[in-house]
Amino acid sequence: MHQPVGPPFSDTLVRRLREADRVAVLTGAGISAESGVPTFRDPDGLWQRFRPEELANVEAFLANPTLVQGWYAHRRALVEDVEPNAGHRALAALERWVTARGGDFLLATQNVDGLHARAGSERLVELHGSLLRSHCIDCAAEADESADARGPLTCQACGGLVRPDVVWFGEQLPEAAFAQAEQAAALADVYLSVGTSAVVYPAAGLPLLARQAGAYVAEVNPTPSDIAGRVSEQVRGTAGEVLPALVAALGGASGIRGQESGGNDG
């Protein structure tokens, strides 16, 4: 007799989410994989083809600004060409569901692709910045990287080199964003860690901080992350499959769909 396959997450996770006053989420490159954006450390990931040491740090940028600007322009074109997927949209729906009940919600992403905002997430902090913004390394003026340039792109105000607003290896995360993410992790009743290998700190420490502070921590990932053994529940599956099913399980027959459509259930 073929047993119907249940959801990959426990009733406990659904119950804990239903009871939660405060929900926080950390996402990594895995949530954008189903939109067609390559991750970093999967077999077909970016770091398999390029060396981060050559591209994602200030020294590499100063040594070869045209190469680094070109690599980020390539990645920007790629993300502008793709759409948020069901996983991004499910987290935006989860935010609406939690806040509609008077709860607190925060999504902290390591991703720089802008897809969470395009999917409708509002309570969002970008821990590693954004590909979609650029600034001058000398006067910090916002710059337009789409301008055509022969050789390295420079600031129209002061002539300094233009760099993407992303956090490079060895650089500090945006202080306010990380403080918000830390506080949300410390206060969360439920913490979801989605699509991250959890190897890059301090972001990777957020689910552990949540667990230590008493949150129920669930990891959504097709393969175990570096912190898999230290979470409350490992949900084996992709963001695009698991998250919509989890949000649907919360809403039951009408709730979440009613919320999503913005109308009533009548």
Residues in contact with ligand APR by CB under 6 A are 28-31, 33-34, 39-42, 45, 110, 128, 195-197, 199-200, 220-223, 225, 238-240
- Tell me if residue 128 is catalytic: yes
The CA–CA distances, whole Å, from 82 to 36, 74, 76, 78 equal 7, 13, 10, 7
Q: Give SS3 for 22.
A: strand
- CB closer to ligand APR out of 65 and 240: 240
- CB closer to ligand APR out of 118 and 128: 128
Minimum distance of ligand APR from residue 214's CB (angstroms): 24
- CB closer to ligand APR out of 29 and 256: 29
Minimum distance of ligand APR from residue 265's CB (angstroms): 30
- CB closer to ligand APR out of 107 and 155: 107
Q: Where are the alpha helices (DSSP H) in 39-110?
A: 46-49, 52-55, 58-63, 65-80, 86-100
Does residue 239 contact residue 10 with C-beta atoms inside 8 Å? no
With CB atoms as reference, the residue minimizing the distance to ligand APR is 30
Minimum distance of ligand APR from residue 63's CB (angstroms): 19
Q: Which tokens sit at 209? A: 């901080």
Minimum distance of ligand APR from residue 204's CB (angstroms): 8
Nearby residues of 137 by Cβ (< 8 Å), 6 or more positions away: 160, 161, 162, 163
Q: Give SS3 for 104.
A: strand
Q: Give SS3 for 6.
A: coil
* Identified catalytic residue from 2, 74, 88, 128: 128
Q: How far is CA 72 from the centre of its chain?
A: 18
* Residues assigned a catalytic role: 128
